[in-house]
Amino acid sequence: MEAGDRVRSGELLTPRARYKIQAVLGRGGMGVVYKAIQETEHIRRTVALKLLASDLSQDQTFRMRFMRESRLAAELNHPNIIPIYDADEAGGQLFLAMPLIEGDDLATVLNREGPLPTERTLNIIRQVGSALDKAHLGGLVHRDVKPGNILVASGEESEGTEHVYLCDFGLTKRITSQSGLTKAGHFLGTLEYVAPEQIEGHSITGAVDIYALGCVMFECLTGRPPFERESDLALLHAHMTADPPSVLDYQPRLPSGIDTVIARAMAKEPGLRQASCRELVQDARAALAAPPPPPPHPDPDPRGGDERKSVRQPTAWRPALIALAVLVAILLLLGIGLLAGNLIDQLLPAAYSPAAVALAAPAILAEIRPPKRGPHAPQARSNWRRRRPRDACHGWAGIGDEPLPDHRLRDDHRRRRNDHRRWH
C-alpha cells in the first residue's frame, strides 16, 4: 500500500512509529499537513504530520538532502524553532512530524487583522530573527521565510506576549549548497519573499533569509507584501530590479527611517544587507522609535480671506487650460475637430483634473493624421509637414503650479490609447 493510500485510510506506518490521521490542517505547494496521533513503543502524542509533495519525494537529490538536513535541523535547540520529532519516508513518501502548536500562522493573522502595531511587529520579527540567526550559526539556511511558516501562539512568554515559532526547518538548505533549485529543477521558496539570488540560482547564504524577513516586516507594517504583480514572471522581475515601495505610502504616520531599514534588508546584492537578523531588528527598533513626521498643515479656510491662495488658485489650472485650448485650435486648423472630440472623450475622462489634459494631449495628438480628402486636406497636410501637432505639446507639463497626475493616470491614458488603436 502506498503512503497516500495509507493516509486516506487513516494511518501512516513508518519504521519507528504509527501515525493515526485525524484531520487535514492545511495544504500548500510543498505538501499537506495533517493532525495525527504519533504512537511509538513508549510515546503517544498529538503531532502535526507534514507529507511532502510527490514530485519532491521522487527527486533523489532532494530526498538525500532532506534526510540529512532534517536531522541537522532536529538538533537545533531554540525556543522559537519548532522541533522535529521524526523525519523519514514511508512507501516512497517523505514526511515530517512536529509538535502541534495551537494558534494561527502569521498569514492568517494578517488576513484577519491587517497591518500590525509597531511593537507587535518588532516582537514577531525579533523572535523569528533569533531563530534564523541560530540556524545560520549552525550552517543552515531556511530559505522559505514567510507568514505562512510563522506560527503565533499567545501568552506563552513570561511577560505574556505572543510566542512565535518558525517552522519547516526540515526543508532548510546547507549554506555550502550552490543554488535554490533541486536536481529536477523544483524552485524552493515563495515568490512574494524570494531573494534575487534565489531566482538566479546563485549560491545561497543566510542573506536570503534576511531578505525574506525584510519582506515579512514590510507586510506586518502595511498588511501587504512589498511586491504585488499580476503574474509570477512580473513578480520575480520586481524582486530582481524594483526598489521596495515605501512603508509610508501605506502608513504615513510611521517614522521615515523604517524605509531605509527595509530597503537595506531587501538590497539586490546580498553583501549590502544587514549582517544578521539581530542587526535588522536593532535597526528597525531604532527607526520606529524616532518621532513620527508632523501632521500636514491644514489648508487655510477658504472663507478666511487668504487672498494669496485665491489669487494663485487659477494658475494651477492654467497649463491644462492652455494645453486644451492649443490642442483644440490645432485640431480645428487641421479640419478634424469631430475626430478630436471623439478622441478626447476616449482618452480624457471628465473626472480627471485639468492637469490630465497636459498628459493626455500627446496621446491624443499621436493618433491624429491630416485628412486625405476634402477641401481643407491640402492645407492640413502642409501644416502637418511644417509643424507636427505633437510638437505643440512640448513644455506644457512645466507650466503653472499643479503637478502632473501620478503613474496610474499615465497607465490609464496608455491603456485608452491602445484601446483606440485597436478600434481605429
What secondary structure letter does DSSP report for 181? B
Instruction: Tell me which residue of 193, 12, 203, 19 sits closest to 91, measured CA to CA.
Output: 12
Do 28 and 5 contact (CB within 8 A), yes or no?
Answer: no
Interacting residues of 160 by C-beta distance below 8 A, sequence separation 6+: none
What secondary structure letter does DSSP report for 375? T
144 is catalytic: yes
**Active-site residue, from 144, 168, 209, 259:** 144
Three-class HEC string of 234-293: HHHHHHHHCCCCCHHHCCCCCCCHHHHHHHHHCCCCHHHCCCCHHHHHHHHHHHHHCCCC
What cell numbers appear for 57 in the block?
519525494
Do 149 and 166 contact (CB within 8 A), yes or no?
Answer: yes
The alpha carbon dihedral of 339, 343, 345, 350 has a sign of negative
Secondary structure tally for the chain: helices H, strands E: 15, 11
Do 218 and 226 contact (CB within 8 A), yes or no?
Answer: yes
> With 0-12 CB in 10 A as exposed, 13-18 as middle and 19+ as buried, what is 25?
middle
235-255 burial, b at 16+ Cβ within 10 Å, e below that, comes to bbebbeeeebbbbbeebeebb
What cell numbers appear for 129 in the block?
530573527
Provide the annotated active-site residues: 144
